[in-house]
Structure 1
Amino acid sequence: MNICIPIFIGIICIILILRDIYISSQINEINKTLSLIRKGNFNARLRFYSGDRRIKELGINMNAIMEEFQEIYDKKEYLEESRKRMIANISHDLRTPLTSVLGYLEAVKKDENLSLEEKNKYWGIAYSKAKKLYLLLEDFFQMSKLDAGDIAIKKEKVNLTDTVKEAIASFYNEFVNKGIEPSIELPKEDLFVLADVKAVDRILFNLLSNAFRYGTDGKVIGIKIRKEKLNAWVEVWNMGKNIPEKDIPYVFDRLYTAESSRNEEVKGSGLGLAIVKSLVEKLNGEVSVCSNKNERTTFSFSLPLY
């Protein structure tokens, strides 16, 4: 009996020593991993080999925190790069039409050999370039007013079906001139929503403009209204080039501009969709985008039914 007591105490001591060694190794593992993270390796994760439920939960929670931090860091890096790209793009977008306007006006003013027909042609080009410049500045102005909360939203009963019809009609010339076939799916009965009609007009204008900007390759642009529970959904789609999957989460960010838009014919300020999102959210709705290769790119927004 006297021999068993020292053996028992010895076993307890060994267990405690081993447990201390194990805990020390786990602490060292944590410190090593956190040190890697501090040095910029945000992919590092903690690995625990323990039957202790508390230690496992600690590891799971710490890894979850690191994953959330990595997502925030990745988005920050993306937005910073987008910001730099946007500044360069805005400079180009403002300078190019302004240079053209000044060039054509100067030609009309100084070149006495121009015929009336040529002068009218130059006036037309200058007007077109000035209009693009105005629309670009209007986007900046609209976004700044939304940020400052200076846009009054008056929610009332709005006939969404009629509003969509009017929006489509306003793009009639674009459909005809570009040879694009409209695909229109509207409910048989009018749908009424609780919204601000001016805000809805702007949302539809921006989405249809975006469809024309990027979807003319497919020669079909569609718009659809559907009812889902307590909301009305509007879908605007095109068959043009799809949006890369990695860019989908950032499409509605104000700094987002597709690289394909940086040519002379297809341009975007990167603010149109950000304005859409801001207005829809002010109307208590939701926005989404779905883009599949060789299929439709669809922008959707919802509004609460009246």
Structure 2
Amino acid sequence: MSLLNWKKSIRLRLLGSLLFSLIASFFGTALINENLGFSIVNMLWGILLPDIILPKLVGATFSLLSFLFFFLLIFFFLMRHIVRQMRTLADGLMALAKGDLDYRVPLSGQDELGEVAQNINYMAEQLQSMMRRERQIETSKMELITHVSHDLRTPLTSIIGYLNLLKNDDYQDLDEHKRYINNAFNKTQQMKKLIDDLFEYTRLTSGDATLSFHKIDLGSLLEQIITEFEPIAQELSITVKRDWEQTPFPAHVDVEKLVRAIDNLLMNALKFSLKPGDITVRLAERGDCIVLAVENRGKPITEDQEKLLFERFYKAEPSRRDRDMPSGAGLGLSIARYIVELHGGKIGLKHANGHFTFFIELPKAAQITKYNGSDDKL
């Protein structure tokens, strides 16, 4: 109910109570004067002062007092419910104004004031939810700063150490000199990867991400990604296997971001695979979806760990991680999840006794309503 309609309803109830009180008081006073009050007063004053006009004056005064008494009594009786409700609403608003967002106005009925009480309670719930979100955002920011500071400090400390050794000529020969430079360079690349992951994560979660959709053949894109990934896998004794039919898999995607998501899944499989071993990439149609799966074998994890894999900053235990692979910020799978969800798809994990299958489900024809993109032909 709008504020204008609510005010109009209250005015009508007040006017109705006023008119009813006036009419009831008039008839009540007339009835008493006729049957009891006025005749008794006239009789008493007529005996005591028979020739004076005072009996009539006293009778009129008695009638007026009777009318006022009945009017106030009836009007108070009719309005007491509204007054009580208004006082309850005022107390509720005062409690909320003092910061007690847990307070709820008791609902006394389904009338207009009851609806106002419902609106006040709804407002309190929204304020609570807003305050809770703000606290979560603030906590998130602090966690983000803490984790990023910790992750950046480790490679930065190593870089400073190697540069100090080079600055002080603290190396035995040219080979050691090159090794220091190579190690420092690798640490800078690790820092760059951490910063890129952080930038991508904050952009995806801030709500400012803009996707440019194109219609592509997902099979051709996946073949290109794997071709670039294979040399890295071979250095770690990992064989990449392909398993899909050589038919077109048309899909509407943001190519750059989807490549990032698939690459994150492949690097995750590479990091946690048993070596030597295999990584199998599958692509198939299932109903209205295209399913991309990355399978590998590694050390088993618990159900609690499974639930945390797609959470930001979650890192597997060092015993599961390949010590030859640089440690990340724990944002890879979380970034992949956000990218897939922005495509209207789903990402998940199936795990059984160390056999991991990370899958991505993408709609064949995405419902692109939020983002503006092109629709290129295959």
Contact 1:285/1:302 (<8 A) preserved: yes
Distance 1:113 1:262 in 2: 31
1:183 to 232, 238, 241: 241
* Structure 2 length-normalised TM: 0.54
Matches within 5 A, 1:137-148: 137-148=195-206
Q: Measure how far apart 1:126 and its partner are.
A: 0.9
Taking structure 1 as reference, are residues 289 and 141 closer, same or farther at Cα in structure 2, changes over 3 Å only? same
Distance 1:288 1:133 in 2: 28
1:100 to 153, 158, 180: 158
The letter for the 2-side match of 1:225 is L
Match of 1:166 in 2: 224
Pair 1:246-2:304 in alignment: yes
Matches within 5 A, 1:253-272: 253-260=311-318, 265=324, 267-272=327-332
Match of 1:286 in 2: 346
Match of 1:302 in 2: 361
Distance 1:215 1:263 in 2: 8
What does the per-residue CA deviation read over 1:75-102, in whole Å, with 9 as the maximum and x for residues that have no partner?
xxxxx9xx97x87765443222111111
How many equivalent pairs are there? 223
Partner-residue secondary structure (3-state), 1:171: helix
Distance 2:321 2:346 in 1: 28
Distance 2:251 2:195 in 1: 30
The letter for the 1-side match of 2:287 is K
Q: Measure how far apart 1:148 and its partner are.
A: 1.5
Distance 1:215 1:225 in 2: 20
Matches within 5 A, 1:46-57: none
Q: Measure how far apart 1:187 and its partner are.
A: 1.7
What does the per-residue CA deviation read over 1:107-164, in whole Å, with 9 as the maximum and x for residues that have no partner?
2222166533332222111111111111111111111011122321011202211111
Match of 1:125 in 2: 183
Q: Which moved more, 1:92-101 or 1:271-280?
A: 92-101
What does the per-residue CA deviation read over 1:172-191, in whole Å, with 9 as the maximum and x for residues that have no partner?
22122111111211222121
Matches within 5 A, 1:65-84: none
Match of 1:43 in 2: none
Matches within 5 A, 1:188-267: 188-217=246-275, 219-260=277-318, 265=324, 267=327
Contact 2:265/2:333 (<8 A) preserved: yes
Q: Which moved more, 1:262-271 or 1:117-126?
A: 262-271
Contact 2:165/2:171 (<8 A) preserved: no
Distance 1:235 1:207 in 2: 9
Taking structure 1 as reference, are residues 258 and 113 closer, same or farther at Cα in structure 2, changes over 3 Å only? closer
Distance 2:255 2:321 in 1: 32
Partner-residue secondary structure (3-state), 2:362: strand
Q: Measure how far apart 1:298 and its partner are.
A: 0.8
Distance 1:154 1:207 in 2: 22
What does the per-residue CA deviation read over 1:181-227, in whole Å, with 9 as the maximum and x for residues that have no partner?
11211222121111110111001111011111111446111111011
Pair 1:110-2:168 in alignment: yes
Show structure 2 runs of 5+ residues with no match. 1-138, 366-378
Taking structure 1 as reference, are residues 104 and 112 closer, same or farther at Cα in structure 2, changes over 3 Å only? closer
Q: Measure how far apart 1:243 and its partner are.
A: 2.8
Match of 1:275 in 2: 335
The letter for the 2-side match of 1:277 is R
Contact 1:218/1:238 (<8 A) preserved: no
* Structure 1 length-normalised TM: 0.66
Show structure 1 runs of 5+ residues with no match. 1-79
What does the per-residue CA deviation read over 1:207-262, in whole Å, with 9 as the maximum and x for residues that have no partner?
01111111144611111101111111100111011231122223212142222467
Distance 1:156 1:168 in 2: 20
Contact 2:282/2:293 (<8 A) preserved: yes
Taking structure 1 as reference, are residues 159 and 247 closer, same or farther at Cα in structure 2, changes over 3 Å only? same
Q: Which has the larger radius of gyration?
A: 2
Match of 2:14 in 1: none
Distance 1:190 1:206 in 2: 24
Contact 2:349/2:357 (<8 A) preserved: yes
Distance 1:263 1:196 in 2: 31
Distance 1:94 1:212 in 2: 23
